[in-house]
Amino acid sequence: MTVPKERKTISRRTTVERIYPRMVELRRLLHRYPELAFEEVRTARMIMQELDRLGIPYEYGGVGGGIVARISGEPDGATVALRAEMDGLPGFESTGLPFASLNPGKMHACGHDGHMAMVLGAAALLKDNPPQGNVLLVFQPAEERGGGSRVILRSGALSDARAIFGGHVTGHYRVGEIMVAAGTITAQSDGFLIQIQGRGGHGARPHEAVDAVVVAGLLIVAIQTLVSREVNPVYPSVITIGQVSAGSAPNVIAETATLRGTMRTTLPAVREHLFERMERMAKGIGDLHNAQIEVIINEGYPPVVNTLPESDIARGAAAKIVGQEGLVAMEYPSMGSEDFAYYLREIPGCYVRIGARREGWEHIPLHSPAFDFDEEALKIGAAFFERVARDAIEAYA
């Protein structure tokens, strides 16, 4: 009979209020001790201690691996997964929070501390009232660098998952808002390295040299025209050169220069076109100035593409938590990237955005040393993850 379970789930918000202090405690504890990609030792230990406290069994892949816990309701029911990330970012925190990072040069500047607390909160709710199927709680390493989702996939821990759901706090939306959309919601992320080989010389005799700095400057300016003049404006794309290195002294003409950057695209054809044009542009400028230029592409995360049925499930679950007025439509894909994309290449699922800005707060972007979020968002996230797991299991029955 499903009636008793249905009655027990009516007051979910009240139940979330009950566990909210524990979620705040967990979030702040995790925030104090951030660890970088594939180094999540203490973080993993804190998560496992909480799972032990809740009485939820799990498997741990060791340092650099992930934690996958399992809440079993009815064995014959469907299995769905909820995902959180464990890693922090390099950087010196400037929030001034009483629970600011105690690990110098590392901080949770992307909200992963909140994501872990939300999924652990959902775990408490699901454990208290087991679902009609099975829920996998995925705590993965290295979302920021290294594509840690692939570690989880290679482990085989998700082999029986019918769907996977994840989310991210954002200051672009207010607490009480959730963005759910089907299709492409983030961009393909690729890195590139451009190495310029000129001929060094004395700064007083430029005619005897091939100045790698001049060539780099021309290439930097030229590359900016690739998006503005080579791509249809309706197709989102970005090229950013974030690092430039060259030269050894003020009076020496640099023999070499290096440019490093990132490219974001949402369509494979646009991605290939931009890479082809970048290489052609580099060759042309190199020939013009008698320099050798090599372009090296480092493939990054693929785009996150939410599947339609799972997006419908997530939208319905979100509406039950924040109401129709709290649902936010996506106007255009984010040009950021997310390794949740690797899960969606193998498992249907949906990735959402969870509003985390308090009314009146200044928006501080992700990855900023001053980043923080309103902890009231923990309630929304935990309630959503619990609800979407139950609704998905019911939909697959």
The binding site comprises: 110, 112, 144, 168, 367
Query: 158-185: b or e for each residue (b if 16 or more CB lie within 10 Å)?
Result: beebbbbbbbbbbbbbbbbbbbbbbebb
Separation of alpha carbons 349 and 305, rounded Å: 9
Distance of alpha carbon 265 from alpha carbon 385, whole angstroms: 29
Binding residues for Mn(2+), as ranges, are 110, 112, 144, 168, 367
d(CA 58, CA 43): 15
As a whole number of angstroms, the distance between CA 85 and CA 111 comes to 9
33 φ/ψ angles, rounded to the nearest 5 degrees? -125, 65
What is the C-alpha separation between 246 and 154, in angstroms, rounded? 40
Contact 196, 257 (CB under 8 A): yes
Pairing mode, if any, of strands 188-197 and 256-265?
antiparallel
Kindly list the distances between the CA atom of residue 1 and the CA atoms of 6, 66, 101, 132, in Å, as whole numbers in the listed order.
10, 36, 48, 11
Tokens encoding 161: 């998952």
Active site residues: 87, 143
Which residue, chain included where needed, has tokens 């989310």? 167
Q: Give me the sheet containing 79-85, strands edge to edge.
A: 58-60, 67-72, 134-140, 79-85, 163-174, 349-357, 178-179, 327-328
d(CA 159, CA 295): 38
130: three-class secondary structure by DSSP: coil
Scored b (16 or more CB within 10 A) or e, 217-242 reads eebeeebeebbeebbeeeebbebebe
Residues 6+ positions from 394 with CB-CB distance below 8 Å: 132
